[in-house]
Amino acid sequence: MLTQPVRSRSLGPRLLRLGLDALAWGLALAWLSFIVWALVASLRPAAEPLGRGDVWFGSTLTLENYRRAWALAPFARYYLNTVLLVLSILGVQVITITLAAFAFAHTRFPGQRLVLFFVLLQLMIPTTALLAPNFATIRRLGLFDTILAIGIPYYGSAFGTFLMRQAFLEVPQDLVDAGIVDGCSWWQLLRHVYLPPSIPTLVAFALSSVAFHWNEFLWPLVVTVSDRSRPLTVGLVRFTQLGEIGARWSLLTAATLLVAAPLLVAFLVFQRRFIQSFLYSGLK
Amino acid sequence: MMTHRRTLSSLTVLLLLLGLAVAACTPPPAPQAAPAEGETGPAAEPVEIEVFYPVAVDAPIAQILQGYAEAFMAENPDITVKPVFSGGYGDVKTTIQTTVEGGGEPPALAVMLAVDIYDLINGDLIVPLDDYIEDRAWLDRFVPAFMANSSFEGQVWSIPFQRSVVTLYYNADLLAEAGLEPPDSWQSLGETAQALTLREGDQVVRWGIEWPSGWPYWLFQPLAIGSGRNIVDPGDPLTVYFDHPDVVEAVQYYIDLSGVYGATPPGVQAVWGQAPSDFASGAAAMIVHSSGSLAGILEQADFQVGAMAVPGQEPGTYATVPGGGNLYILKGAPQAERDAAWQFIEFLTRPENVADFSMNTGYIATTDEAAELMGDYFTQTPQAQAIREALQYADAEFSVHNLGEVRNIFHKYLQAAYNGELSPEEAMAKAQEEADAALAPFRE
Amino acid sequence: MVRRPPLLPYLLVLPTVVFVALFTAWPTLLAVYQSFFRQRLNIARFREPTFIGWGNYQELFTSPDFQQVLANTAVYVAGTVPVSVVLAFLLAVLVNRRALGIGFQRLAFFYPTILPMVSAATIWMFFLTPDYGLFNQALAFLGYRGPQNWTANPDLALFAVMMVAIWKNAGFFMIFYLAGLQSLPTDVFEAAALDGAGFWHQLWLLTLPMLRRTTLFVTTIAVIGAFQTVDHIFVLTAGGPSNASTVLLYWLWQVRFEYQNVGLAAALTVVLVAILLVFTVTNFVLSERREA
């Protein structure tokens, strides 16, 4: 397949290979330039403004911008909020989608297609589009300005249910039958037969869920107002809007990286697993 | 396809996450129950008030306010003041709006934009302060420009607190090199900017002036005022003067700075963020910006920085417009808290505190008595004094009913004119028409 | 396997169904209902809802702002989706080879997915800065001499926010193509190679058709994503200049939370949901038919 086509010794494929290499490296460096610049700029002394031809290193490297950004907003609290947010969403989702997917994959019940279609509504109408009426619901439930308010619309996940259902459907029927013969309860079937081979899918879903909610901005902006619930993204935007003064790039990039760092570092460390779990998750 | 060994460790990670999540998933504490009404009792009862405030400058506002709160509490042992950082200006207002909508109790005191006055009155969120002000002369201490957005229907609704003003910064070294005086009219501003614009071939190396217009009304207002007609009148929330010939002329002047003088980038300049560092790095000889940027500019610039009001159309005239936040007392708070809030306002507006706040944050001292205490500071930072003097040319900041919508209408057409999509006359005529429609529901 | 106690499946799907009902179905109905009422929170006498029939829709469909916002949204979706999907396919092909540094390249293309959109937009804000912004410098190096004020020029602002979205999403979509590519049967390609089919030939005539389902899936999530991501607009342009980069969801936020016009925002929600439903249902029907 595509890993093979350049095996031949003639000049054309070799040129092609060189061309593709050059293209890949060029694009990769262009893509990386954003984060590299941000990192360099965040270490630049604040008193040295960027200018034409002088946008990278300053006279020295300093962590002062991080200290300043940290002092300007309660980032520690934002971290805590964001972590609580993504973990609580994920925790509930894992339960809801596993149970629902099991019901859809393993059992037949009257109205099943209808229920499945109803759940899939959530895929067709993204929750973000419903922010105005959902805001009203959150107000009515008395959840306004809580971490729960940011997370609760996502506690049920059509995407996750659908993914897990696909994974469960691929579990060989022999295994399931064997389990039933052994007298497994539904819970044991799920736990010992369905779940183990579906873990990669679950991990892939978990990663995409965490990344999505870590990065979400608009809905938290709307349903939170105080630091006891605000996540990192909403906190960051304050820096781009420090109304009275001009944004300083060094301060802004420091704040930006503070917000993005945990996921980026996690990604670097678990890079293989991140991408692999996507590859094996049945997202084909 | 997949190996079970790898999945095993994934499972562990997942279970760990799950455990954490369950622990994390306990519902957050319910909003604190409103203290029972009627418990306030006699004045000697201890009172606790919250003060919601935004941070809009690169200064440790939280520490500074906490310091005032502690000094105040030392004087008034029966009052506890809790400053609560609430985000940006918009956040403070939204917090209070939504708290009240939800039947909750707002803080007694909040720092919100001076121009939010009509929205806050329409939302029935604030109380007039006249009952607290025993002597109207007490108000005379404040710079008149800062009071321009405080009065409505004969009542006073807010007290100036963290205030700034539109400032023209110029690179005094470059002016001196070119043998130029600071500009004193539209024409001389254009010519100075033109003279200081530096080109290499077809490349501009230095702009004569940068005038941000990504969020344009504020920095535009000095032009309208300098032309003879502000876009609003103080205390009148129903009328805008977008299509007034003087305003149209002001729009044209902004366009001319690029079209005629070639001294500024053409069209809308979305450079609010970088203008101060462009100025400090020498990429722009002059900028129009907030007085709040002074500290940052002085920190970065290695040349003599000049600061002044924006020159007006006629020689020797100047204009500018204030901005920033005022202190408001919230209606939903119990009487005792509101009274305590007023005491804290009086404390904050003492000359020594106003002076201290100004010197520590870069905001402008709101009273002359305070400014008199700042002699050393003004000697060290003559620009700060110049900015304060510029205030004499200030007129009211843009504030009307339905501000969000009317302001967006104005922005839309002002930018259309700046970008040459409409002529200034057409653009302002349309802006006037749509703004009138947006204000109509408030006229009845 | 149908011998479960009949109640169990219902109990298992109940939590999901409840959350979907509460935060997808109910708000949709609520929006339809509210869209027939006038309710404006910043005008004292309109604070309580009053029935006004089709009033909000009339206001919407006669508003030039709405027409511009719709047009912007169409351009945004029609621009970002195909470009990011094609780019994603291209990137996947590039990093699906065996060559030095492939892991590094995958990392380079994928990391924007992990970056919050507001962070990405903040960094782009610098790259798009006139004169010394790196994007403009790169363009100038390539000989571009046009306008550089990407976020303030009415012809460029929408394009600028589209670029950010494409940059951010291409690596995410790439992963799906990469998964697709790796699941393709190698023997077909070996046979094709033996028959003398060249690289491009294989790419167009074998790989692409075999990844049709991936393309459909990626396109679907790309379209839905394009409608629901406006974070970068907050940071980069605030919808400006003169509404040039205002798209539906951003305007919806403005109408509801800046202008506090609940009724009009509800009507806008209905329009947005209708557009999304028409798209997804059409998509679903088409794909079912093709599968059949």
Q: What is the CATH number of the domain that holds A144?
A: 1.10.3720.10
Q: Taking CB atoms and an 8 Å limit, are A158 and C20 in contact across chains?
A: yes
> Could you give the percent of chain B with pLDDT greater than 90?
70
Q: How confident is the model at residue C291 (pLDDT cuts 50, 70, 90)?
A: low
State how far residue B265 is from chain C, nearest Cα, in angstroms: 9
Distance CA A32, CA B244 (A): 51
A241 touches chain B (CB under 8 A): yes
State how far residue B73 is from chain C, nearest Cα, in angstroms: 36
DSSP annotation of C37 reads E
CB atoms under 10 Å from CB of B380, counted, come to 12
Tokens representing C43 are: 């005008």
Residue C119 belongs to domain with CATH number? 1.10.3720.10
The closest CB to that of A51, out of C127, C132, C228, belongs to C132
Q: Which residues of C5-39 are buried (b: 16+ CB within 10 A; e: fewer)?
A: eeebbbebbbbbbebbebbbbbbbebbbebbbbbb
Closest CA to B274 of A252, C231, A256, C245: A252
Residue A259 lies in a domain: no
Distance CA A175, CA A128 (A): 40
Q: Taking CB atoms and an 8 Å limit, are A91 and B91 in contact across chains?
A: no
**Are A82 and A61 found together in one domain?**
no
Composition of chain A by helix, strand, coil, percent to 5: 70, 0, 25
Residue C170 lies in a domain: yes
B270 touches chain C (CB under 8 A): yes
CB atoms under 10 Å from CB of B155, counted, come to 13
The closest CB to that of C258, out of B213, B274, B404, belongs to B404
**Are A40 and A146 found together in one domain?**
no
Q: How confident is the model at residue C257 (pLDDT cuts 50, 70, 90)?
A: confident
**Are A37 and A153 found together in one domain?**
no
Taking a C-beta distance cutoff of 8 angstroms, is the pair B35, B69 a contact? Answer: no
CB atoms under 10 Å from CB of C94, counted, come to 22
B361 touches chain A (CB under 8 A): no
Please identify among residues 227-266 of chain A the ones whose CB lies closer than 8 Å to any CB of chain C.
232-233, 236-237, 239-240, 249, 252-253, 256-257, 259-260, 263-264
Residue C140 lies in a domain: yes
Q: Are strands B47-53 and B79-85 parallel, antiparallel or unpaired?
A: parallel
State how far residue C13 is from chain B, nearest Cα, in angstroms: 20
The closest CB to that of A52, out of C30, C132, C181, belongs to C132
Residue C25 lies in a domain: no
pLDDT of residue C78: 96
Tokens representing B88 are: 């940006």
Q: Which of B6-20, B189-203, C44-58 is predicted least confidently? A: B6-20
Residue C124 lies in a domain: yes
Q: Which residues of A261-275 are buried (b: 16+ CB within 10 A; e: fewer)?
A: eebbebbeeebebbb
Closest CA to B105 of B143, B26, B52, B161: B52
Check pLDDT > 80 for residue C239.
yes
**Are A205 and A108 found together in one domain?**
yes
**Are A105 and A215 found together in one domain?**
yes
Residue C204 lies in a domain: yes
**Are A105 and A213 found together in one domain?**
yes
Q: Taking CB atoms and an 8 Å limit, are C242 and B419 in contact across chains?
A: yes
Subunit partners of chain C (3 or more CB pairs within 8 A): A, B
The closest CB to that of B441, out of C43, C129, C241, belongs to C43
Distance CA C254, CA C277 (A): 23
Distance CA C235, CA C172 (A): 21
State how far residue A27 is from chain C, nearest Cα, in angstroms: 8
Chain A residue at shortest CA distance from C9? A103
Distance CA B24, CA A83 (A): 9
All residues at 6 or more sequence positions from B5 whose CB lies less than 8 Å from its CB, including other chains: none
Chain B residue at shortest CA distance from C125? B273
Check pLDDT > 50 for residue B36.
no
Q: Taking CB atoms and an 8 Å limit, are A84 and B88 in contact across chains?
A: no
Check pLDDT > 80 for residue A277.
no
For residue range C195-210, what is the model confidence (pLDDT) as tens digits? 877 778 888 888 888 8
**Are A208 and A130 found together in one domain?**
yes
Residue C135 lies in a domain: yes
Check pLDDT > 70 for residue C224.
yes
State how far residue B409 is from chain C, nearest Cα, in angstroms: 9
Check pLDDT > 90 for residue A86.
yes
The closest CB to that of A115, out of C13, C178, C235, belongs to C13
H or E element: which one contains C38?
strand C37-38
State how far residue C176 is from chain A, nearest Cα, in angstroms: 6
A130 touches chain B (CB under 8 A): no
Distance CA B274, CA B271 (A): 5
State how far residue A199 is from chain C, nearest Cα, in angstroms: 17
Distance CA B274, CA A51 (A): 10
**Are A60 and A77 found together in one domain?**
no
Query: Does residue A2 sit in helix, strand or coil?
Result: coil
Query: What secondary structure, in 3-state letters, does chain B show?
Result: CCCHHHHHHHHHHHHHHHHHHHHHCCCCCCCCCCCCCCCCCCCCCCEEEEEEECCCCCCCHHHHHHHHHHHHHHHCCCEEEEEEECCCHHHHHHHHHHHHHCCCCCCCEEEEEHHHHHHHHHCCCECCCCCCCCCHHHHHHECHHHHCCCEECCEECCEEEEEEEEEEEEEHHHHHHCCCCCCCCHHHHHHHHHHHCEEECCEEEEECCECCCCCCHHHHHHHHHHHCCCCCECCECCCCCCCCHHHHHHHHHHHHHHHCCCCCCCCCCCCCCCHHHHHHHCCECEEEEEHHHHHHHHHHCCCCEEEECEECCCCCCEEECEEEEEEEEECCCCHHHHHHHHHHHHHHCCHHHHHHHHHHHCCECCEHHHHHCCHHHHHHCHHHHHHHHHHHHECCCCCCCCHHHHHHHHHHHHHHHHCCCCCHHHHHHHHHHHHHHHHHHHCC
Taking a C-beta distance cutoff of 8 angstroms, is the pair B433, B271 a contact? Answer: no
Query: Does residue A211 sit in helix, strand or coil?
Result: helix
A127 touches chain C (CB under 8 A): yes
Q: How confident is the model at residue A40 (pLDDT cuts 50, 70, 90)?
A: very high
Residues of chain A positioned with their CB less than 8 A from the CB of B276? 49, 245-246
Query: What secondary structure, in 3-state letters, does C79-128 show?
Result: HHHHHHHHHHHHHHHHHCCCCCCHHHHHHHHHHHHHCCHHHHHHHHHHHC
A68: number of CA atoms within 13 Å, CB side?
Answer: 23
The pLDDT of B184-197, averaged and rounded, is 97
- Residue predicted with more confidence, B37 or A199: A199
Residues of chain A positioned with their CB less than 8 A from the CB of C30? 133, 136-137
**Are A107 and A214 found together in one domain?**
yes
Distance CA C117, CA C232 (A): 6
A215 touches chain B (CB under 8 A): no
Distance CA C92, CA C148 (A): 31
Distance CA A62, CA A141 (A): 47
How many residues in total does chain A contain?
284
- Residue predicted with more confidence, B425 or B28: B425
DSSP annotation of A171 reads S
Residue C275 lies in a domain: no
Closest CA to B293 of B228, B353, B219, B242: B219
C112: containing domain: 70-263
Residue A46 lies in a domain: yes
Residue A56 lies in a domain: yes
Distance CA A177, CA A246 (A): 67
pLDDT of residue B6: 41
The pLDDT of A54-78, averaged and rounded, is 86
Query: For the whole model, what pTM was predicted?
Result: 0.88
Task: Please name each of the domains of chain B with its CATH number.
Answer: 47-163+323-393 (3.40.190.10), 166-322+402-442 (3.40.190.10)
Residue B51: beta bridge partners? Answer: B83, B109
**Are A61 and A77 found together in one domain?**
no
Q: Taking CB atoms and an 8 Å limit, are B404 and C154 in contact across chains?
A: no
The closest CB to that of A245, out of B7, B58, B278, belongs to B58
The closest CB to that of A244, out of B7, B164, B277, belongs to B164
Closest CA to A74 of A242, A260, A231, A243: A231
Total domain count for chain C? 1
Q: What are residue C40's phi and psi, to 5 degrees?
A: -125, 115
Check pLDDT > 60 for residue A281.
no
Residue A246 lies in a domain: no
The closest CB to that of C109, out of A31, A128, A133, belongs to A31
Q: Taking CB atoms and an 8 Å limit, are C43 and B408 in contact across chains?
A: no
The pLDDT of B27-32, averaged and rounded, is 37
Q: Taking CB atoms and an 8 Å limit, are A248 and B88 in contact across chains?
A: no
Residues of chain B positioned with their CB less than 8 A from the CB of A240? 273
A59: containing domain: 11-65
Residue A83 lies in a domain: yes
Chain A residue at shortest CA distance from C98? A3
Mean pLDDT of chain A: 86
Please identify among residues 132-161 of chain A the ones whose CB lies closer than 8 Å to any CB of chain C.
132-137, 152-158, 161
Task: Tell me which of A28, A48, A65 is where a domain ends.
Answer: A65
Q: Return the top range by mean pLDDT from B369-383, C95-109, C171-185, C203-217.
A: B369-383
Residue C65 lies in a domain: no
Best probe of the A interface among B25, B211, B215, B302, by most A CBs < 10 A, is: B25
End-to-end Cα spacing for chain B: 72
Residues of chain A positioned with their CB less than 8 A from the CB of B25? 87-88, 91-92
All residues at 6 or more sequence positions from A244 whose CB lies less than 8 Å from its CB, including other chains: B56, B57, B164, B290, B292, B293, B323, B324
B403 burial type by CB count under 10 A (0-12 exposed, 13-18 middle, 19+ buried): buried
For residue range B317-355, what is the model confidence (pLDDT) as tens digits? 999 999 999 999 999 999 999 999 999 999 999 999 999
pLDDT of residue A244: 54
pLDDT of residue A134: 96
Q: Tell whether omega for the bond before A110 is within 30 degrees of 0, i.e. cis.
A: no
Q: Which of A3-12, A136-145, A153-162, C116-125 is predicted least confidently? A: A3-12
Total domain count for chain A? 2
Task: Tell me which of A19, A34, A65 is where a domain ends.
Answer: A65
C83 burial type by CB count under 10 A (0-12 exposed, 13-18 middle, 19+ buried): middle
Residues of chain A positioned with their CB less than 8 A from the CB of B110? none
Residue A254 lies in a domain: no
Check pLDDT > 70 for residue C28.
yes
